[in-house]
Structure 1
Amino acid sequence: MYRSPEFSIQFLRTTYLRGPNIWTYRPVLETWIDIGTLEDCPSNTLPGFVARLTAWLPGLQEHRCSVGEVGGFIQRLEEGTWPGHILEHVALELQSRAGMQTGFGKAREAGPRGIYKVVIRTRHPEVSQKAFSYGRDLILAAIADRHFDVGSAIADLTQMVDSLCIGPSTACIVDAAAELDIPHIRLNDGNLVQLGHGASQRRIWTAETDQTSAIAESISKDKDLTKTLLATCGVPVPQGQIVKSPAQAWEAALDIGLPVCVKPTDGNHARGVSLELTSQAEIESAYALALAEGSEVLVERHILGDEHRLLVVGGRVVAANKGEQAHVIGDGVSTIEQLIELQINSDPRRGEEEDFPLDTVRLDDHPTAVLELQRQGLLHNSVPSLGQQVLVMRTGNMAMDVTDLVHPDVAELVALAARVVGLDIAGVDLVVKDISKPLKAQGGAIVEVNAGPGLLMHLKPASGKARPVGEAIVRHLFNSDEAGRIQVVGLMGNGDTTGPAKLIAWLLHLKGLETGLACACGLFLGNRRLQKNSAMGWETAQRLLINRAVQAAVFETTARHLLTEGLPYDRCQIGLVTSMPKAEGLQDLFVHTDAQMPGFVRTQIDVVLPNGVAVLNAQDEQVAALASYCDGEVIFYAQNEANPILRSHRANEGKVVFARGNQVIWAQGKQETELFSLAATTTSKIIKIHQLSRNDLLAAASAAWALDISKDLIRAGVKSFGQSPTAH
């Protein structure tokens, strides 16, 4: 760690806010830092600091910052800004250079002199925490004019991104879902992701979904069985035979007719595939390569033309790529291995990582390439003559987008092939001379149908347009009017939300919905208590959203949980605030005055969906003022119908709930509906047994209106609250 003898930046606390929080809807990492004497040294007072910092991280030139234009952050550096703000931008830039795009960041004074809260958007907290650590060391090194190995730091972060974050194919589906306002939950350390909540969820595992049949996947792995089924349904496929020995491979080739290709029956990614073989030696050598990559070997008629990969999603072709062959041209001096490095691997589109559109070519990793060289009488250390063209690989990256050229006949046959195998998402490989013409007329054929196809080739083709394949998969899983959401009710207040939460959950249960409840007194599913202690923690509450049985969920949240974990859901149908929480007990979070609380609690209303409802206690002016943050409708409630906020809202045709004497009333404009009497014997008994206040009942009645629960069901629910289902 690099640290100036004069200055230091100390990390005090780091918090992973996994759900919507006081900063943003998205997960963030919040770190508290103490910059010590650097509080007296803004960036414009540190000699050479800005030049050294931007030389190490030139991408900072693109940061807009609060200025709102490219170069805005540099302008702030030159005018003078403090290390908290600088750390925000440096950590974001390091994440971006490592391949984890995020963008959002904030830095705010925490209160005590020299202490700041720095927040950055994260896709994985370990990566962001490391970015903060490297960012701190880099800043101190730039201040002290010391060496800092930026390349090593970025390489370390890149390795973390590759190993910890979801892959780019999965990420494109998740990002497409987010654009359509469909929530997601990562279910493991890999690429298993839930889209949507509860009973409305779907699951993906990269390019496989919960609609992908295990039988279909098994069929696709058996190349011979796949061909048999396709041929039965009239899909053109190459003639082929499974063989048990090199000698049988040669016999099969003679029977089929030369040239042939040899491949493993259950291989993938073109491993062990040798094409256009014409001699016994070539075929017997190819047999060994194929067997090394699979359990059986298949000899097929070689189809003239170029390889293509077409992506089928939900019965239609959504993308198509053409393969490339890899060649080098001799210079009379360099070996083939050297030419591969100079002419092929030097292409900036090639790399080892998954997000490069083209793979690096290494002869050690491609035995079929070695065989291809041998067929030309060459070895890896051979020196081709000047101008001599050498074919290195016949099968390579499907890197050239040709989606717009696909003939309708080809698209129809490819979609049929996916249906025959039974795959909802399939990568169909075919060989054809011209993809813009019908398949059969030119002797083309479908050679493979693959489950779980790679998507990156369509997202980052080496040439042509990128295709929105992530959106296609999401649209396949969800109808245009679906967002994978269940009814979610979120409550926040000053210790007075447990009663309303339980009553709202009861009413939803009576409505016929399998309802989950996470509150101060436990975790419930229907009338079953799954956990006795508080279930307001993020991880516990999330169990309801993962449960496929849950059709509605009610969540009670405190200000502390909001500040230390974030909300356990991304958006809600109903956001209910019963009273403004107090700052007391939150001093350890640098919350010292009640005046700070509305700025935090507004999050509960910020997350209400546009078609949702904010339910607010009009008797608390600070709570009522939160209405301006709601994207949806607002219902106010108060005990007195003369409440000025209620009267004003009602005058504007807004919905209000109040008590007139002992009668609870819904009202909108001049229309009124009497719900139930607070003085009724059964209601009074329920209030006493469950320690409910009049406000609790008004809050629950308001939420029930927002949830479209009928007045008769509300009356029955209030009378029966707390009884077991067997009593009805």
Structure 2
Amino acid sequence: MIIDSAGRAGFHHGLRQPDQVLTIRLGYCPAAVDWAAFDAWLSEKLAMPVQAHAAGTVFEHEAARVMWRILQIAAGLQRAARIPVFEPGRILSCRADEREAGVWLCTVAVPRIDFLAAQSTRLAYDWATSLVLELAMAADRPDRPEGLYRQLEEQVLQPLRASLPAGKSIIHMLGTAQECGVPWRYLGDCVFQLGWGRRALRIRNSKVETDSLLGAEAAQHKFVAAQWMRQAGLPVPDHYLVVDENGALQAAQNLGGLMVVKPVDRDRGEGVTVDVDSPEAAREAFRLAAGFSKQVLVERAVAGVCHRLLVVRGRVLYTVKRMPIAVQGDGRMTVAECVQAANDRQKAMPVWNRPPAYPLDDPARVALSRAGLTPDSVLGAGLWAPLRRIESTQWGGLDVDYSKTLHADNVAIAVRAAALFGLGIAGVDIISTDITRPWHENGAAINEVNLAPLLGASQSSLGTLHELMQRLMDGDGRIPVGVVVGAQGAAIRARALQRQWAAQGHACYVTSHAETLGPGGVPMPLAIQGLYARCIALLADKAVGALILVAQTDELLGTGLPVDRFNLAERVVGELVATSHGGATPRDSTDRLAGLLGCTA
């Protein structure tokens, strides 16, 4: 269990994320553990891959082997709760407790997320410690640990999600940024900053700060969105906006044929009824939709299937045909048996990774009937039995990739629609009988333009995340950052470097702990003090094209470094001014900071 923590802000121990130091008490250390079997069980049952050793590390004590697995499981639990912890951390020391036999004290450096409450960190590492110790000592580990899944979901993951209630897309966005070397930082309120200075971009889930506020609001109102698109010459279904049952019945009479009835301002398929074909069905569909919104859209059904096109900064990255949730036959089992088998397979997955259960209820029977099937039908090998009329977020679905066969004219209307609403990332839904044919040939129409579409939910989405990051960011999002360590001479040297970087075309800023200079050496008053704080402020300023830090005190030994790496680090003559950190001599502090930075003389 955690007995001490030092939650400092910056980079101290070579991790790719800002870190904090924890001291974790192991009340006992299990011996003679089959670590290979243990790691395989953890990796399979918790879906959290466990490595036997940290890269380049040889563990001399059994306590270190235990601790390494605790770090990996704690990181995995946080990721499962969508808290962006992408590395387990490092073991700094493991020592026997001199006061209590059999007890070990392990000091570790682990990733730290700004604004994440200390109790959330404690929860993750205390549970990981208990879990690893108990399972390592267990004589028999369950093949289907459903009780453990439920316990972790309710007592660990739900509280962790509440501490940082980000959506499902963000963990994929930030993980991709990490893989691409794009620096990021949490700003609070589920907003993250990717990159630095003039290359910075703020995001929340898959919303980007460059999205048009007016366009985003319009896109979320289905009637307004359709008016915008119709006026722009884009294909949309005929529809009426209604507020009561009489209006819905009149709209149904005017439209004729099959209709779709849906709330005007909800997503995820909530309150949507398709195949409305009678006044009674229209009345019932209106009541359902009105339970979600005060305004309801009655729309003429468009022939075909919904296709999701992800548009990022003017390019379609992938296209999937969104089929309803379905089970696949093997030529022997009935549909009902296929559903049971599919649900049994899902029960082997951790609760937090488990998709919605395959339904066999009245809507499923209706969908089967439309396909000429019943629950007792034997489903042919390779054939699919739909369990819903359409795909929805609530029930999931079956995505078929059409990225390589999408017709260029359909690409064009998707790109135009995203641009119309000013969205950097948009999920454009096109209903078409054949997305490989042009929309104007087969009567296809744009159903919706989705703000902040879900990312990472399909293999098609996962496969394009790196391209998405490349389209969003200017390179790796970094600007040149340098540091000069020393006394008064450090400021003189920094000003010289500023002139050099300015000559290379950079809007270069210089800051010490007490003074900040803009391009050309113009003073820039800031309402904060300290080198670390001023650096963070400048890295968030889109006017900043390059930055040079002047380290004249040993402050960074306490706060940690504000960035994970520097383009330039120099040391000049003179010692740092000592602060309260550690009580070291000025010479020792200067040597330590220069070593941490890898300074050249």
TM more than 0.5? yes
1:548 aligns with 2:542: yes
Aligned with 2:452: secondary structure? Answer: coil
1:434 aligns with 2:434: yes
1:655-689 C-alpha deviation (Å, 9 max, x unpaired): xxxxxxxxxxxxxxxxxxxxxxxxxxxxxxxxxxx
Deviation at 1:517, TM superposition (A): 4.8
Deviation at 1:450, TM superposition (A): 1.9
Across the aligned residues of Structure 1 and Structure 2, the Cα RMSD in angstroms comes to: 4.7
Aligned with 1:303: secondary structure? Answer: coil
Equivalent residue, structure 2, for 1:4: none
Equivalent residue, structure 2, for 1:65: 53
Aligned with 2:291: secondary structure? Answer: helix
Deviation at 1:345, TM superposition (A): 5.3
Name stretches of at least 5 consecutive residues in structure 2 with no aligned partner. Answer: 99-103, 142-146, 329-334, 379-384
Aligned with 1:572: secondary structure? Answer: coil
Pairwise mapping of residues 356-367 of structure 1 onto structure 2 (< 5 A)? 358-360=355-357
Equivalent residue, structure 2, for 1:477: 472
1:126-161 C-alpha deviation (Å, 9 max, x unpaired): 554433323444465568879999656743443345
Q: Equivalents in 1 of 2:353, 2:135: separation in Å? A: 31
Q: 1:83 aligns with which of 60, 63, 66?
A: 63
TM-score (norm 1): 0.64
Deviation at 1:259, TM superposition (A): 0.8
Amino acid at match of 1:567: L
1:454-497 C-alpha deviation (Å, 9 max, x unpaired): 2233xx34xxx444443344333334xx443344222335x667
Pairwise mapping of residues 13-52 of structure 1 onto structure 2 (< 5 A)? 13-33=4-24, 46=31
Equivalent residue, structure 2, for 1:227: 226
1:375-397 C-alpha deviation (Å, 9 max, x unpaired): 999xxxxxx87339885443423
Structure of greater Rg: 1
Q: Equivalents in 2 of 1:448, 1:97: separation in Å? A: 35
Deviation at 1:245, TM superposition (A): 2.1
Amino acid at match of 1:550: V
In the superposition, relative to structure 1, how do residues 64 and 597 fare at CA in structure 2: closer, same or farther (>3 Å)? farther
1:173 aligns with 2:186: no
Q: Equivalents in 2 of 1:153, 1:442: separation in Å? A: 52
Aligned with 2:61: secondary structure? Answer: coil
The answer (yes or no) to whether the contact 2:491–2:550 under 8 Å persists in 1 is no
Q: 1:95 aligns with which of 75, 78, 82?
A: 75
Aligned with 1:83: secondary structure? Answer: helix
Equivalent residue, structure 1, for 2:482: 489
Amino acid at match of 1:21: H
Deviation at 1:115, TM superposition (A): 5.6
Name stretches of at least 5 consecutive residues in structure 1 with no aligned partner. Answer: 1-9, 330-335, 364-368, 378-383, 606-613, 618-728
Equivalent residue, structure 2, for 1:405: 405
Greater Cα offset, 139-148 or 13-22? 139-148
Equivalent residue, structure 2, for 1:197: 196
In the superposition, relative to structure 1, how do residues 360 and 216 fare at CA in structure 2: closer, same or farther (>3 Å)? farther
The answer (yes or no) to whether the contact 2:557–2:581 under 8 Å persists in 1 is no
Amino acid at match of 1:292: G
Equivalent residue, structure 1, for 2:144: none
Aligned with 1:404: secondary structure? Answer: coil
Equivalent residue, structure 2, for 1:386: 376
Equivalent residue, structure 1, for 2:246: 247
Report % sequence identity. 20
The answer (yes or no) to whether the contact 1:185–1:193 under 8 Å persists in 2 is yes
Q: Equivalents in 2 of 1:486, 1:317: separation in Å? A: 28
Q: Equivalents in 2 of 1:131, 1:375: separation in Å? A: 43
Deviation at 1:118, TM superposition (A): 1.8
Pairwise mapping of residues 281-430 of structure 1 onto structure 2 (< 5 A)? 281-326=280-325, 342=340, 348=346, 358-360=355-357, 386-387=376-377, 391-396=387-392, 397=396, 399-400=398-399, 401-430=401-430
Amino acid at match of 1:543: A
In the superposition, relative to structure 1, how do residues 197 and 256 fare at CA in structure 2: closer, same or farther (>3 Å)? same
Equivalent residue, structure 2, for 1:633: none
The answer (yes or no) to whether the contact 1:28–1:120 under 8 Å persists in 2 is yes
Equivalent residue, structure 2, for 1:724: none
The answer (yes or no) to whether the contact 1:501–1:554 under 8 Å persists in 2 is no
In the superposition, relative to structure 1, how do residues 295 and 133 fare at CA in structure 2: closer, same or farther (>3 Å)? same
Deviation at 1:51, TM superposition (A): 9.3
The answer (yes or no) to whether the contact 1:99–1:158 under 8 Å persists in 2 is no
The answer (yes or no) to whether the contact 1:258–1:278 under 8 Å persists in 2 is yes
Pairwise mapping of residues 111-150 of structure 1 onto structure 2 (< 5 A)? 116-121=106-111, 126=118, 127-138=120-131, 141=134
The answer (yes or no) to whether the contact 1:517–1:523 under 8 Å persists in 2 is yes
The answer (yes or no) to whether the contact 1:18–1:26 under 8 Å persists in 2 is no
Amino acid at match of 2:542: R
Pairwise mapping of residues 565-714 of structure 1 onto structure 2 (< 5 A)? 565-578=559-572, 601-605=594-598, 616-617=600-601
The answer (yes or no) to whether the contact 1:88–1:118 under 8 Å persists in 2 is no
Q: Equivalents in 1 of 2:296, 2:348: separation in Å? A: 30
Amino acid at match of 2:470: R
The answer (yes or no) to whether the contact 2:364–2:386 under 8 Å persists in 1 is no
Equivalent residue, structure 2, for 1:106: 90
RCO greater where, 1 or 2, for CA within 8 Å and sep 6 or more?
Answer: 2
Q: Equivalents in 1 of 2:67, 2:579: separation in Å? A: 29
In the superposition, relative to structure 1, how do residues 585 and 291 fare at CA in structure 2: closer, same or farther (>3 Å)? closer
Q: Equivalents in 2 of 1:317, 1:349: separation in Å? A: 35
